[in-house]
Amino acid sequence: METKFLENTVEFKIDFFEVDSMRIVWHGNYINYFERARCAFLDKIGYNYIAMEESGYIFPVTEVKCKYVKSLHFGDLCRAKAILVEYENMIKFNFELYNAKTGELTTKGSVSQMCIDAKTGETQFVCPEIWRNKVEKCIKEGGLK
């Protein structure tokens, strides 16, 4: 069982351009929903992709897992939860997508990211102190505000 350090939730409506001819969300868009939830989390903690790059690091995705449980449809309200489960040696989020109206779990998955020095391209086996400090501060304060 992984430790859940912090989590954040966002909600958004499923738009027509995101669905197939059956009005079901196209399977690849669920990864985009993970990204929306992850970006909202990073914005809230104060270390988004722009801040990462400004601090001299980039975090490319190294692994994506996605389990489709139930479909989302055009017009549904999606509740996307990003759960930080690793932050010291890599960034790893677990994700849960729900139909916000029914509360049903529709999709779950995870995304892992490695830290790379933006100037040298070298893999960093410990995430930068600025990131770790932001996470640990939020943990001490009882979560994201």
Q: Please tell me the least confidently modeled range out of 1-5, 68-72, 120-124.
A: 1-5
CA atoms within 13 A of residue 118's CA, in its CB half-sphere: 12
pLDDT of res. 1:
61
Q: How confident is the model at residue 11 (pLDDT cuts 50, 70, 90)?
A: very high
Per the CB < 8 A criterion, the answer to whether 7 and 145 are in contact is: no
pLDDT of res. 4:
82
User: What pTM was estimated for this model as a whole?
Assistant: 0.94
Structure token digits, residue 55 = 């601090």
pLDDT(74) > 90: yes
In the 3-class helix/strand/coil scheme, how is 84-130 assigned residue by residue? EEECCCCEEEEEEEEECCCCCEEEEEEEEECEEECCCCCEECCCCHH
